[in-house]
Structure 1
Amino acid sequence: MRKAAALGVAALALAAQCAAAAVPVQGYAIKATYPHDPQAFTQGLFFKDGFLWESTGQYGASSVRKVELATGKVLQKRALPEKVFGEGIAPHGDSIVGITWMNQAGFVMDQGSLSIKGTFNYMGEGWGLTSDGERLYMSDGTPEIRVLDPKSFGEQRRIKVTVDGQPLAKINELEWVEGQIYANVWQSDRIARIDPFSGRVLGWIDLSGLAATAKAGKDIDNVLNGIAYDAKTRRLFVTGKRWPKLFEIELRPAKK
């Protein structure tokens, strides 16, 4: 019986290893390095019209910014109310849609002036936000991503995100990249590449060592967070909370 049990445990371990190996893991190479505000507690990031647009968090320090890529200079900034903890942002037309952490409220900003044009509400927490040009995708720290109508902000459906059939929690900042959702996983050095229809994690991007390269500091919250994609030139940018650097990276072939 003991031998049979041991064989059973071994078989389960082998099956788990095979399952883990089923999800490919890509590495990276740094193509370019840019300055980044080391005080920016980065929550959301996207690239549009030649500029980076960034949201920052923390009560009393939350904001939405227009940033010059080459210099990291903040060209325009709109502070959020002190009682608001800013989270993800996403573009929609000539507007920027943003969400907050615990306030159960989102906002719509004019991209040109960064003035708030409207607000909306949702249940639960707000973490990350992105857009495919037609719909908004919102994370809330759970294994589910909400799909929202960008006009009414009503929930259309939910994507249940899984890795080899197991739910993936702590999904944070989101970015739409060539038909997939790239997602930071909170307190992780990995980005998940998610199928927006099935919710299956198609692959991992392993960014181990990047925080050290950025000289991110020892605060436990100074983690990888922030993904932006320039669809015109196919450039992928990443940064982290309070990182003094932002990187353009090139993905390496998946490990076999």
Structure 2
Amino acid sequence: MKILTYFFILLLTAITLSSCETTYKFSIEVPKKTTIGKTVTATLKEKNNNPIDSVQFFLNGKQLASKNNSITINTESIGVGKQYITALTFYPGKTKKTNNSFEIFANKAPEVYGYKLINTYPHDAKAYTQGLEYHNGYLYETTGRKGQSTLRKVDIKSGKVIQKIDLDKKYFGEGMTIVKDKIFWLTWQAKKGFVYNLNDFKQVGEFNYNRSKEGWGLTHNATELIKTDGSHNIWFLNQETQKEKRKIQAYTNKYAVDKLNEAEFFNGKLYINRWMTEKPVKSIFVIVNPENGVVEGLANLNGLRKEVLKSQKLEDDDVLNGIAFDNENNRLFVTGKHWSKLFEIELVKKQ
């Protein structure tokens, strides 16, 4: 009987201690939406006002200095897009992670552009265009689909293919860009790209993707390759190693701009086709600030696809997908998948 009484007392004591144990419930309070240029404050809260020893804050994986269980974030320094906050809280004998997120939008609507048609040239209607770039008087183009993917050098005025190689049939070719004497060419879902000599199209290397999901469009600035993956993310790669260094997110003042495809960098901005096959099929590209991801412009080129349709039939996925810029002569060329025409245009801002 004494033994039973002893165990009963122990059990009662354990229950009592358990019921007296302090319960901690953490949350991060932060505005869900804001605009670039504004300051955002994120604060760790404990529901029951229990004591906290300390807290460490992380924004997108990078630790930030905090004060009084809060951090202040300058949105101008991180750009637009979804941002992730983690608080690592230290309290009596324990630690806990708490997560939240918020979105930064552009602070004004994008400018809208139309176009002025300057010239029309022939283009191979069998080419499922994935990448397009101007270099030393010629266009360089990559085409897609397994068993049909090619890299080619094209005469602008005649549309004649001067030089061409085929990609291995197991790969679906995507965008390309030229840096010095090398051509960098992406594949779609194989998570790898290839490097070729510019003069003879001989393959001299390959590289793997890291965090980016797929390969869609490719261009470059003075020091980096710039890659799209079909989402709203734009990746910046080391030109020498092809390793992904960082990313920006393309956002207007209202939404994330996804389905980013073939890209070109000129005049300090990114010009990127959107993959838009929903009916009615649209021919649009966006103009993105490469520093912060803000979509500053929207170009409506629907009239060009309508012009092509006057002389040939197009499928829904035969969309605008090819931007090339001649810096020396200030010429902008665009075309599309299976389009029989290449257009030289001038963008015109709408009033």
**Fold shared by both chains (TM-score > 0.5):** yes
Deviations 1:152-181 (A, max 9, x none): 111111011101152110000000111000
Aligned to 1:192: 286
What is the aligned counterpart of 2:187 among 79, 100, 103?
100
Letter of the 1:204 counterpart? L
| 2:173 matches 1:86 | yes
Aligned to 1:151: 240
Deviations 1:70-127 (A, max 9, x none): 0000000010000110000001110000110011110000000001000111142100
| 2:152 matches 1:65 | yes
In 1, the alpha carbon distance for the partners of 2:235 and 2:318 equals 26
SS of match in other structure, 1:142: coil
Aligned to 1:30: 117
Cα deviation for residue 255 of structure 1 reads 2.2
Deviations 1:199-239 (A, max 9, x none): 00011111012112123523111100000000001100000
Q: Choose 215-224 or 29-38, whichever is displaced more.
A: 215-224
SS of match in other structure, 1:30: strand
| 2:250 matches 1:142 | no
How many percent identity over aligned positions?
42
Cα deviation for residue 133 of structure 1 reads 3.0
Aligned to 1:5: none
| 2:346 matches 1:250 | yes
Unaligned runs of 5+ in 2: 1-105, 277-281
How many residue pairs get aligned? The number is 237
In 2, the alpha carbon distance for the partners of 1:20 and 1:37 equals 42
In 1, the alpha carbon distance for the partners of 2:117 and 2:107 equals 26
Aligned to 2:218: 129
Aligned to 1:214: 308
Aligned to 1:169: 258
Contact 2:274 2:286 (8 Å CA) reproduced? yes
Aligned to 2:295: 201
Normalised TM-score (structure 1): 0.90
Contact 2:108 2:252 (8 Å CA) reproduced? no
| 2:279 matches 1:183 | no
In 2, the alpha carbon distance for the partners of 1:206 and 1:94 equals 34
Output the aligned Cα RMSD. Answer: 1.4
Cα deviation for residue 29 of structure 1 reads 1.2
Cα deviation for residue 21 of structure 1 reads 7.9
Larger radius of gyration: 2
In 2, the alpha carbon distance for the partners of 1:139 and 1:255 equals 27
Unaligned runs of 5+ in 1: 1-18
Aligned to 1:235: 331
Contact 2:141 2:154 (8 Å CA) reproduced? yes
In 2, the alpha carbon distance for the partners of 1:165 and 1:236 equals 29
Q: Which has the higher contact order (CA 8 A, sep 6+)?
A: 1
Letter of the 1:155 counterpart? E
Aligned to 2:198: 111
SS of match in other structure, 1:126: coil
